[in-house]
Structure 1
């Protein structure tokens, strides 16, 4: 006679657990290493930037509470699949290689890779890279592109864990040029110490760059993907994405569908 009661109690407990899980704040994974103007710490110590503020608007559109969860870039996909974060929103391009282990929302922005070097240097790209040292952040689409298309150019490709390490070595003269996200590099060039550097060229459209930048999700999180896709459509169509892009990036990089 006690079995039905036990089953009912267990079902109620499971239901409460699922409800609590659904109501828990979504943990938005960003790289713990600042990546201005997309993600960085403000003077207050709080995280901000184009993607941080866009994440907040997406959560508002879904009616969900969210919290920013800084995570090491090299371990951000394992952290997602292990359940330590719920989504990756940190300029992660949608590529076939990544889609083998995680899922993505629709793209919300796209920018090409850019080559940056000192103004005084005349560099033909890609034919004049032989003998030069180029810095690229590892585990990025720019690194994938460099490995696939530039390994026979004679350039010495140096991989770094953090984008700022690449920038610092460029400024210090330990690198001849860098290949990185164009928007991030345009922001870098606004620094006083980078006044003598410029964009030499942009990388062509290539499969290594995928379809654009999307939000990374666990492959089984279909409901969250659908909710985020609807939220992305909302913030793009109502102009919120474009306004934030203009505010932080100085241009509109949002993907309109």
Structure 2
């Protein structure tokens, strides 16, 4: 690897760390860059997932104050996310490389729509009888499916998390973002362990991305916690739309 390539990878890691912490689509920065540098798609996916773990953990720690009093829910959601991530990592190793990626643009598009219309839909759902029970019944399998998606292809899992949770949960957007960061960290750690054991990984890329993503995660916490819910929602929609364009172009 040449020096300029290493600099590009570190810079991509910083950018991805910021975006993952604030919104959750940093892989759409790093994955195309790794592929452009000549790494096979599966190696790019696995190396990227492991390399961004440190940034995900940094972001989750930075948002810990928004999850005070939510310990039981965090544990429940984390367990379900971990199981889903294991399933997704298995899919990456067992299925053809492009089988699941065909669904990614549609999933991200759905998430963007959910984020955009979530306030109005959440109010309507909350008025209906049994809203709280319905949320409890739906959210765990939904989180498991998103964890599976993240374990297979990490791009935009944060947008999918926020969009889906915002539709069925009444928590403020900043807490949803905190849940998102914690669950992304769980998914990335679980999937990363599987990848490290049985999948092709470029460890120099992992190290460079880890350095960049930690710096980006710290910066992202500062940015994300200062954004109002409306601005954060707009940022999610903009980046999510850009993610769809990137995925379709790729």
Question: What is the TM-score when the length of structure 2 is the normalising length?
Answer: 0.29
Q: Of Structure 1 and Structure 2, which has the larger fraction of its residues in helix?
A: 2
TM-score (normalizing by structure 1)? 0.29
Structure of higher RCO (CA pairs closer than 8 Å, 6+ residues apart): 2
Structure with greater Cα Rg: 1
The structure where strand makes up a greater share of residues is 1
